Amino acid sequence: MGHSDYQSDLDKLLETAIRAGRMAGAILTRYAQSGFHIEYKGLINLVTEADHAAEQCVIDCIRSQYPAHGFLAEERGRVEQGSSPYVWIIDPLDGTTNFAHGFPAYCVSIGLEYKGECIAGVVYDPTREELFSATRGGGARLNGRPIQVSRTAILDQALLVTGFAYDIRDTPQNNLDHFVRFALRAQGIRRTGSAALDLCYVAAARFDGFWEVKLNPWDMAAGSIILKEAGGQITNFRGDTHSLYGQELVASNSLIHGAMLSIIQESLPVVSPKP
């Protein structure tokens, strides 16, 4: 396939993701106005009617264009479609706790993996009507305009963001150790409650860095390509290649990445070299 065929295929895939993201965002807005039923997946882990309806909408919209593609969606898990190399990774509502409380920080996140690599992503925040998007090699955009990470080079001037998993009460790997260290080293720390938006906000230079301990592929898929295409860096806690299936993540404008990794490594167990 020539470069222009590849690019036009990718543009069509992105258009589909944008349409799906906007339609699902409109569903979230309708539920936010009309009210919704809440169920509990755990003591502090909610799911609402809106999560399910938005997920159905994204899958229907993509399937109508690409019936052979596979899906990995938060509420229904993996849906294999034959042996397609394309897998859409969907969080229909990232920021459910915010949504349930009427706190306007949530989004629809749609990433596209091709042969295991993320090649396109869309994150849509219906409360601000902000649509973040990226394709591999095509740059990152916010409502169609190119975005770039910040130029903040030192932690004393950095605004960082993080989050906490739903098992925060049940495990010592609950991010509170890292949080305490960063709180004393950064200019400020925020917790928005939506990991997909956190990644996009680093991409758009609103935050300088983001770390989190236990994320799922649907939290990170779209945001990770948007961040990379905006010039950002994303790794695991040891500074190695980030994997969507690896849970932990350090994402930054790249200039403060080394400093962030050093702080995280202060809390990690020491790995002794092989004899």
Q: Please give the residue ranges that form the binding site for ligand IPD (CB under 6 A).
A: 91, 94-96, 163-165, 193-195, 212, 215, 219
Q: Looking at the chain, which runs of residues are DSSP E strands?
A: 38-40, 46-48, 70-73, 77-79, 86-94, 107-114, 117-125, 130-135, 139-142, 145-146, 159-162, 188-190, 209-212, 233-235, 249-252
Our finding on whether 55 is near Ca ion (CB under 5 A) is no
Both tokens of 185, joined, read: 């080293």
175 or 255: whose CB is closer to ligand IPD? 175
Q: How far is the CB of 193 from ligand IPD (least distance, A)?
A: 5
Applying the rule CB under 5 A, the residues between 88 and 117 that interact with Ca ion are 91, 93-94
Smallest separation, CB 161 to ligand IPD (Å): 9
Site for Ca ion in 183-222 (CB under 5 A): 219
Give φ, ψ of 55 to 5 degrees. -65, -45
The CB-of-53 to Ca ion minimum distance in angstroms stands at 13
Burial of 151 (0-12, 13-18, 19+ CB in 10 A): exposed
- Binding partner of residue 208 among Ca ion, ligand IPD, none, CB under 5 to 8 Å per kind? none
Closest CA to 162 of 133, 134, 185, 183: 183
2: tokens are 């020539």
Q: Report the nearest approach of ligand IPD to the CB of residue 219 (Å).
A: 5
Binds 232, which of Ca ion, ligand IPD, none (CB < 5 to 8 A, cut-off by type)? none
13 vs 110, which CB is nearer to ligand IPD? 110
Per the CB < 8 A criterion, the answer to whether 55 and 109 are in contact is no
Going by C-alpha positions, the residue among 188, 210, 81 that lies closest to residue 73 is 81
CA nearest neighbour of 99 among 194, 201, 26, 167: 194
Nearest residue to Ca ion on Cβ basis: 94
Nearer to Ca ion, 91 or 248 (CB): 91
**Closer residue to ligand IPD, CB minimum distance, 155 or 220:** 220
CA angle 149/58/35 to nearest 5° reads 95
* Residue 65 or 127 with smaller CB distance to ligand IPD: 127
**Pick 161 or 205: Cβ nearer ligand IPD:** 161
